[in-house]
Amino acid sequence: MEKPWEGESVQLDKQAMEVLAKEASEIMNVSWDQIDAIKSRAVRRGMARRESIAMKRVYIGEKSYRRRRKYVTCVARLDEAGKARIDYIGDGKGEKARDGFFSALSEEEVAGIEAACVDMS
């Protein structure tokens, strides 16, 4: 029997992060905003340590949540084996959300993209 936390679920992930943030804020006696800032810094440090791999193939897609009322745009690079690595998650959908990723790339990185799979409305 599958346990509810074993499936992939944005809602479960969100609930887990809220529980962790609440516990951390109580233990550390800091606000939720401070916890969010700590989390954001940790993500930036992790992204900075990532091994650089050539970005030849990318996937760009939109994911809805909150019963299709909110969206995020995800950009992932695909390695030679077809394994995806998420490089960017932007708020919303459409060009504006996607352009946050491409504006951070160098001209050489953009020119190195050979193929893109795009699933956007």
Supply the range of the domain harboring residue 95: 57-119
115 and 61 within one domain: yes
Chain centroid to CA 104: how far? Answer: 15
90 and 61 within one domain: yes
43 and 27 within one domain: yes
Domains: count for the chain: 2
Question: Does residue 1 sit within a domain?
Answer: no
Enter the pTM of the model: 0.60
What confidence score (pLDDT) does residue 9 get? 60
pLDDT tens-digit series, residues 1-25? 455 545 556 666 777 778 888 888 8
What confidence score (pLDDT) does residue 2 get? 52
Question: Does residue 105 sit within a domain?
Answer: yes
63 and 38 within one domain: no
- Whether the predicted pLDDT of 35 surpasses 90: no
109 and 62 within one domain: yes
Chain centroid to CA 102: how far? Answer: 14
Question: Does residue 74 sit within a domain?
Answer: yes
Contact 53, 64 (CB under 8 A): no
